[in-house]
Amino acid sequence: MIVNEIHEKLKAIGIDIVPEDYRFLDENESLHSPMLIGLGGSYAYGTNNEGSDLDIRGVAMQSKKEILLGHDFEQVVDVATDTTIYSFGKICQLLTSCNPNTIELIGLKPEHYLYESDLGKELLANRDMFLSMRCVKTFTGYANQQMYRLQQKTLVAMPEEEINTHICKTLNGMRDTLERQYDLSGIDIHMKGSKIVLDLDIKDYPAEELSAVLGVFNNTIREYNRNSKRNENALAHGKIAKHAMHLLRLYMMCEDILLEGKVITYREKEHDLLMDIRNGKYLAEDGKPTKEFFDIVHEYEARLDRAKERSVLPQEPDIERIERFMIKAYEGMI
């Protein structure tokens, strides 16, 4: 029973759970072939406190039937336990794009892996094949969104031009994915005055696919401009410091990937700084981040710019190696 193994591993690092709450890991049909299960969230980053929830993340192989029929459960989410288990196919897709929310799973401390099959160990041994300069766009894109949310949730008034600059950065972070997905090239998104403008040279392009591309842009812009009640309540619920901490953590992880070619999820070196931020050291009396905090952000932005110039990572992940690994894994399952 995988739950019992996870329970024992958690007890060894001082975390206790109610095993019954996690029985779905043994009983869910999609999770019959687990590959990798580990910590997620603050416990994985080393920024947990007494009130931190336990997050579990993992990977499971699709069934023989799903592989042969081209089906994919993609992910199983249990909200009650903050657990997300991705399919092997889905995690490979996300890792190839250097998705910040999932790439941290292949950079945990050894003791934070709660279950590893032979295939899971092989995935970890080959993690370098997923690393590329794509991390710059994905991590800075997430960080940019985090900065925007931070400003919105502290009710910092931003002029239209500043809001659009945030949106423009986010759209540019999505550009490569859209070009690959919709077989486009040469999308140019930039600011003209205070407005976002799009240059796209196309001819005989299917209107249905163009509508889908523009729909992605529209949804992103609409999300940014939505001023929901949730944002107004964030300050009262004390979430600002946590948002601020994660903003810097994204820059730190990306710098490691660029300079060391490693995913380092547990932030031991910067632990004290991150915990100071989480504990409110860089919040003013009104609960908003101080100028000192934003100075630190700008320092890490500059560090990341320097890291981009010094990085020896390839521009693109090793797609052929990734595909060979996936084929071997699928053949083994079949």
* C-alpha distances in Å from residue 13, one per residue of 36, 108, 110, 144: 18, 14, 11, 34
CATH number at residue 76: 3.30.460
d(CA 117, CA 59): 10
Rounded mean pLDDT, 196-221:
82
Q: Do residues 125 and 138 share a domain? A: no
276-324 pLDDT per residue, tens: 999 999 998 888 889 999 999 999 999 999 999 999 999 999 999 999 9
Letter string b/e over residues 277-315, b meaning 16 or more CB atoms within 10 A of that residue's CB: bbeeebbeeebbbeeebeebbeebeebbeebbeebebee
Q: What per-residue confidence (pLDDT) applies to 225?
A: 64
60-to-169, 258, 317 alpha-carbon distances in Å: 34, 28, 22
Same domain as 231, residue 185: yes
Q: Tell me, what DSSP letter sits at residue 30?
A: G
Query: Which amino acid would we find at residue 262?
Result: K
pLDDT band for position 224 (cuts 50, 70, 90): low
Q: Which two tokens stand for residue 254?
A: 């990306």
Residue-wise pLDDT tens digits, 109-155 = 999 999 999 999 999 999 999 999 999 999 998 888 778 777 666 65
Amino acid 310 reads R
Tell me if 86 sits within 8 A of 102, measured CB to CB: yes
Range with lowest mean pLDDT among 180-184, 245-249, 271-275: 180-184
**Mean of all residue pLDDT scores within the chain:** 88
| Gap between the Cα atoms of 227 and 119, Å rounded | 45
What is the spatial distance between Cα 86 and Cα 105, in angstroms, rounded to a whole number? 11
Cβ pair 157, 149 in contact under 8 A: no
- Residue numbers of the domain that contains 10: 2-130+317-333
Total domains in the fold of the chain: 2
What's the pLDDT at 238?
Answer: 56
| pLDDT of 317 | 97
pLDDT given at position 158: 52
Length of the chain: 334
**Same domain (yes/no): 151, 272:** yes
Query: Is 16 in the same domain as 158?
Result: no
